[in-house]
Amino acid sequence: MTSAADEHRTIAGEFTERVRGVRPEAWDHPAPVEGWVARDVVRHLVEWFPDFLKSGAGVELPKGPSVDDDPVKAWTVHSDGVQALLDDPATAHKVLSNPHIGEVPLDQAVDRFYTADVFMHTWDLARASGQDERLDPAMCARLLDGMLPLDEVLRQSGQYGPRVEVPESADVQTRLLGFIGRTP
């Protein structure tokens, strides 16, 4: 099994490629999430996760520039901070506590909630900026298999839009995207 640090390194690396590939004018192109533009995909990841870590584990990530000023630098500072946290041997002994999920080893919480989010939003940024939209099929399958039994809970959380129906014969990426409310 891949460690949380290695999983993040790979997935954040793919997202970083997309971030660096956004042409300057494309930062304001509409994203697949209603009301968002490409820049908002980065903003979402850079803004929600530091508060989650701080409130649940007392961990503070380094802060970069605002996403409005420099989305590439904002992302890389953030992503490098998460990677440093996961690479730190002391992280193995830390726990994240949250009223919705209970107590979870910190590296597992990062992997389950944040790295998975980065993976799914890679498609959003690629779509908004006209880049390669292909996602790793094995990771798509793993996420979809883990999320299907939680369908009702996920919908009630407000984090996912209504499911978009896709043919049962669709590839796993298309099925995952439809499940999370995207129109592939």
DSSP string covering 71-133, please?
HHHHHHHHHHHHHHHHH-GGGGG-EEEETTTEEEEHHHHIIIIIIHHHHHHHHHHHHHHT---
Which pLDDT does position 30 carry in this prediction? 98
Q: Contacts by 62-68 with C-beta closer than 8 Å and gap 24+?
A: 67/39, 67/42, 67/43, 68/39
Tell me the average pLDDT across 117-129.
98
Contact between residue 95 and residue 106 where contact means Cβ atoms under 8 Å apart: yes
Contact between residue 106 and residue 82 where contact means Cβ atoms under 8 Å apart: no
For residue 37, the SS3 value is strand
**Does the pLDDT of residue 150 top 90, yes or no?**
no
Contact between residue 23 and residue 129 where contact means Cβ atoms under 8 Å apart: yes
- The residue that leads in pLDDT, 87 or 152, is 87
Domains, the chain, in order of start with CATH, read: 4-134 (1.20.120.450), 135-184 (no CATH)
- The residue that leads in pLDDT, 136 or 156, is 136
For residue 18, the SS3 value is helix
**Which of 86, 73, 82, 98 is CA-nearest to residue 50?**
82
Question: Residue 105: beta bridge partners?
Answer: 95
Which pLDDT does position 1 carry in this prediction? 66
Helix 38-57 and helix 71-87, axial crossing angle in degrees, nearest 10: 30
Mean pLDDT of all residues in the chain? 95
Which pLDDT does position 154 carry in this prediction? 83
**Which of 29, 33, 61 is CA-nearest to residue 47?**
61
Tell me the average pLDDT across 46-71.
96
Q: How far apart are the first and last CA of the chain?
A: 29
